[in-house]
Amino acid sequence: MKRETMIERHIRKMIELVDVASIAKKIVLALLGLFLITFLLVHLGLNLTILRGDGGEWFRAGAYFMGANWIVKILGFGILGAILAHIALGLFIQVMNWRARPIGYKAKTKSKTMFGSKLMIWTGILLAFLIVIHLTHFWFVKHGWAEGQYIVRTEKVERALGARQLELYTAFENAQNEDQQTLVQLEFMELNNFIQGNEKLQVVMFPGFAGQHFITDLSKEDIREMRAFLDVDYKADFYAMMHDMFKNIWMVLLYVFFSIVLGFHLAHAVPSGFQTLGLAHSKYTWLVKYAGYGLAAIIAAGFATVPLFIYFFR
């Protein structure tokens, strides 16, 4: 038997290290994908509350909580990081595969797995572009990088109004002369005129989840005007934004297309992810495969349902 030379041994070890690194990348890619699927299910669950027909009570309450809770905010950036990492790692692995096989196979096969695997990179790239569009529609508004529609808690408006009135009463009592008292009175009048003249502040749209009340569908100008008088916190009103957006048939078609592409991507990603993690077995590979198809169909249909429902029934 021929003895392995030192050079051959080093080459073999390098190849083994490359193989281990390649497997590690695929495992990380699979874990990121499964984490993002969990996020998609939570996101879908919130979106489907729109179908309740409660004027957005549950949806607004859930969205407001996620916009106000710091843990959820941090998690949101973590999800964005996971998306970017998943895209970058997927592209890197695919490019390495192309470089390792620049000519391609001579024999063509009709393997469904091969087709699904080839389709993954293209649905992934398409999803990356669609995600950017989605972020500009909603996530950018949430972080103040784009304008949209907004919501404020009525309780916070009332609290801010009480604090401002107390401040003005105190200023009036401490005024040194009539001129100062007149100025305070003018501020009182301006505040009262603002409150009484603003129709959106006169109507509590609905009692919210857990006893919350909201003033909804506020524009950026409404918020600027309100904050000129009252120190109130506000969040993006995604419910109003979705209702306005999905009255446009082209936006509906775009998001339905987005959902279909997502479904195709997940149909291969779920079984592939389980296989990469070593959770597939010949006895139940078919179950993992069809469970992946089912999950992909549910997620795609769920996300597509929301814009269609708003367009046709709201």
Domain residue extents for the chain = 25-147+242-313, 151-235
Other beta carbons within 10 Å of 204: 13
Which of 9-23, 54-68, 102-116 holds the top average pLDDT? 54-68
Rounded average pLDDT over 229-247: 91
Alpha helices of 174-248 — where are they, by DSSP H?
A: 178-197, 199-202, 220-229, 238-245
Q: With contact defined as beta carbons under 8 Å apart, do 258 and 303 qualify?
A: yes
Quickly state the pLDDT bin for 286 (edges 50, 70, 90): confident
Other beta carbons within 10 Å of 89: 16
pLDDT tens for residues 119-139? Answer: 888 999 999 999 999 999 998
Q: Which of 61-70, 138-147, 295-304 has the lowest mean pLDDT?
A: 61-70
Between helix 70-100 and helix 112-134 the angle, nearest 10°, is: 140
Q: Which of 87-91, 173-177, 209-213 has the lowest mean pLDDT?
A: 209-213
pTM value surpassing 0.95? no
| pLDDT (0 to 100) of residue 15 | 47
Quickly state the pLDDT bin for 27 (edges 50, 70, 90): confident
| pLDDT (0 to 100) of residue 263 | 95
pLDDT tens for residues 178-236? Answer: 888 899 999 989 988 887 777 776 544 344 444 457 888 888 888 888 888 888 888 89
Rounded average pLDDT over 14-39: 76
Rounded average pLDDT over 104-130: 71
Q: Which of 240, 156, 236 is nearest to 201 (CA)?
A: 156
Output the CA–CA distances (angstroms, integers) from residue 232 to 152, 161, 221, 225, in the order listed.
8, 9, 14, 11
Quickly state the pLDDT bin for 13 (edges 50, 70, 90): low
Q: With contact defined as beta carbons under 8 Å apart, do 256 and 304 qualify?
A: yes
Provide CB contacts within 8 A for 125, sequence distance 6+: 91
Q: With contact defined as beta carbons under 8 Å apart, do 303 and 44 qualify?
A: yes
Q: With contact defined as beta carbons under 8 Å apart, do 48 and 302 qualify?
A: yes
Q: Options 1.10.3720.10, 1.10.600.10, 3.40.50.920, 1.20.1300.10; which CATH number does 25-147+242-313 get? A: 1.20.1300.10
Residue with tokens 């048939």: 249
Which of 25-34, 35-44, 55-64, 86-95 holds the top average pLDDT? 35-44
Three-state secondary-structure class, residue 282: coil
What amino acid occupies position 91?
Answer: L
Choose between 241 and 277: higher pLDDT.
Answer: 241
Sheet holding 150-153, edge to edge: 214-218, 150-153, 235-236
Q: Which of 111-120, 142-151, 272-281, 303-312 has the lowest mean pLDDT?
A: 111-120
| pLDDT (0 to 100) of residue 2 | 54
Q: With contact defined as beta carbons under 8 Å apart, do 307 and 50 qualify?
A: no
Residue 95 backbone zone (phi > 0: left; psi -120 to 50: alpha; other: beta): alpha
Residue with tokens 């708003």: 310
| pLDDT (0 to 100) of residue 44 | 97
| pLDDT (0 to 100) of residue 9 | 56
Q: With contact defined as beta carbons under 8 Å apart, do 69 and 116 qualify?
A: no
Q: What is the largest CA-CA distance in the chain?
A: 110
Q: With contact defined as beta carbons under 8 Å apart, do 274 and 37 qualify?
A: no
Measure the CA–CA gap between 192 and 194, rounded to whole angstroms: 5
Q: With contact defined as beta carbons under 8 Å apart, do 157 and 204 qualify?
A: no
Choose between 82 and 107: higher pLDDT.
Answer: 82
| pLDDT (0 to 100) of residue 5 | 62
Measure the CA–CA gap between 287 and 294, rounded to whole angstroms: 10
| pLDDT (0 to 100) of residue 161 | 85
